[in-house]
Amino acid sequence: MTQQADVVVVGGGVVGLTTAIALNEAGMRTLVWTAELPRRTTSAVAGALLGGPVMTEPRADAMRWQTTGLEIFNELAARPHTGVTSARGRLVSKLGPGTPPWARDLPGFAECSPEELAGFPSGFWITSPVADMPCYLDYLVDRLCQSGGDLEVCTVASLEQPTAVAPVVINCAGVAGGTLACDDSVTPVRGQHVVVANPGLTEFFYEGGADDDWTGFFPHGDHVVLGGNARPGDWSLEPDERQTADIIKRCAEVEPRLADARVIKVDVGLRPGRPSIRLEEENADQGRLIHNYGHAGVGVSMSWGCALDVVKLVSA
């Protein structure tokens, strides 16, 4: 079969789209093959707060990836129609009183007053880029096409399948990336969000450091994304009514205007949980194979840093 592209990226979530854009913009014609359209992926469900700490990822590269991403997201927030904006909001925690030392270096840092803590023992204000994920994914698809790439809905049965059309394959299949790579360290970490009509909020609120249930809300224009939770090992994509009620209750305790906000929809996503992100080349029988999956709860924040490292690996 004739080669149609330099690279095929498997996966059209935030990691795959960003990787494909970075490859195209570096001069490599890249196709995205995705089982689901971007708005139907886990990536579409995220909040998404992009300037907070990323302490859950143990790889030494995580800080560099985070810094790279933050620079790019700040640039995107200054442009219209990207889905990324700059917002002020509170980061709170139940982990104990006192502000962590790194927090003071974050843009817009200010201690919360006792009333602003909303019952949490610690918290502070920051300014951070935030993404309205469905809009941001639309922007990424447009940018992919403008950079000469393309997206096709296609479910691959193996990572060898795309070598029929390109000599390099990048595995960005999220939680399915583990199955395709025979990597049993990947596990779904189910998360549920509730999207409500915006009763007039402009500032976000996020509880960091919580294991399973946390309180957070992210206003994006006419709607607010309320969160959230993390359920390792749960593959169900069905919204859970009890979790919906709990999420609304927790958020309304902080912001009473959310108590009666009209529910627009309930979104569920499967974070690709893994002990650490897998970004490396694997010796393959056919063509070249590079993995970029397992971003757990920080895939949006890490997407640009990881994508640019994939470009370096492909070019090496």
Ligand X SMILES: Cc1cc2nc3c(=O)[nH]c(=O)nc-3n(C[C@H](O)[C@H](O)[C@H](O)COP(=O)(O)OP(=O)(O)OC[C@H]3O[C@@H](n4cnc5c(N)ncnc54)[C@H](O)[C@@H]3O)c2cc1C
Exactly one of 84, 141, 156, 251 binds ligand X (CB under 6 A); that residue is 156
How far apart are CB 256 and ligand X at their closest, in Å? 23
**Residue 50 CA to its chain's centroid (Å):** 9
Handedness of CA 237, 310, 20, 228 (dihedral sign): positive
**CB environment 171-195: b (16+ within 10 A), e (fewer):** bbbbbbbbebbebeebbbbbbbbbb
Binding mask 273-312 for ligand X (x = CB under 6 A): --------------------x-xxxxxxx-----------
How far apart are CB 283 and ligand X at their closest, in Å? 21
Q: Is residue 174 left, alpha or beta, with left meaning phi > 0 and alpha meaning psi from -120 to 50?
A: left
Segment 178 to 237, residues that bind ligand X, using CB under 6 A: 191, 193, 227-228
Exactly one of 56, 155, 185, 236 binds ligand X (CB under 6 A); that residue is 155
**Residue 293 CA to its chain's centroid (Å):** 12
Nearer Cβ to ligand X (155/315): 155
Exactly one of 16, 83, 123, 305 binds ligand X (CB under 6 A); that residue is 16
How far apart are CB 176 and ligand X at their closest, in Å? 3
Q: φ, ψ for residue 2 (rounded to 5)? A: -70, 145
How far apart are CB 261 and ligand X at their closest, in Å? 18
Mark the segment that binds ligand X (CB under 6 A) among 8-16, 58-66, 96-104, 111-119. Answer: 8-16
Asked if 51 touches ligand X (CB under 6 A), the answer is no
Residues that bind ligand X (CB under 6 A): 10-16, 33-36, 41-43, 45-49, 155-156, 172-176, 191, 193, 227-228, 269, 271-272, 293, 295-301
